[in-house]
Chains A and B, each alone.
Chain A
Amino acid sequence: DAGVIQSPRHEVTEMGQEVTLRCKPISGHNSLFWYRQTMMRGLELLIYFNNNVPIDDSGMPEDRFSAKMPNASFSTLKIQPSEPRDSAVYFCASSFSGGRTDTQYFGPGTRLTVL
């Protein structure tokens, strides 16, 4: 089992550029979560999907952020245009919702730096 896969692991971009973060959840999982972690705000839930449908996007900070899950094995988080305050580590996690534990498994994260 490869676990949750995120790409890229590191991204450095300039303000105003579009950034796309990618996530491949664990096969068989039906829930997917995007988190953002900064020193100031800690670990924040941005959005989560169940069976590829967005359930709660109340954590998405602005309209510049969007997330999609076109199928059960792939999700993207897009920032357009990016700003320096978007610099953070972005984590994707997946789980099997409906089981006894709903344990979330996290990917290694994408460290985003916006200059």
Chain B
Amino acid sequence: DAKTTQPNSMESNEEEPVHLPCNHSTISGTDYIHWYRQLPSQGPEYVIHGLTSNVNNRMASLAIAEDRKSSTLILHRATLRDAAVYYCILRLGAGGTSYGKLTFGQGTILTVHP
């Protein structure tokens, strides 16, 4: 599996935007970029994913570099509830034989200050 690199930790203030970076220089053309987050004492939850184009959903936005070697998860207005570990994961496209297998790295610990 192609690897991702994320900062160990980041801090933000409440109601400010947060940009969480992820480097994936060995990404292949069929790899989707997925983001999951894990709130304290909970299982991971899906945030967003994309292939080439920027994506928006109710939780966040995903900005993907033109060469796809990096991406940024954007939380437009951080809340205290957004404090979590954020994982950037590369995954083969839907279908095929991977059956959606995810390989988690260490992620980025996001701290949100009131």
Contact = CB atoms under 8 A, between A and B. Distances in A.
Interface of A: 4, 31, 33, 35, 42-45, 48, 50, 55-56, 91, 93, 95, 97-109
Question: By DSSP majority rule, is chain A's interface helix, strand, loop, or mixed?
Answer: strand
A93 B43 contact: yes
B103 A45 contact: yes
B100 interface: yes
Contact of B46 (A43, A45, A103, A107): A103
Question: By DSSP majority rule, is chain B's interface helix, strand, loop, or mixed?
Answer: loop
A25 B94 CA distance: 19
Contacts of A33: 101-102
B45 interface: yes
Contacts of B68: none
B99 A106 contact: no
B44 A106 contact: yes
Contacts of B17: none
Nearest to B45: A106
Nearest to B92: A102
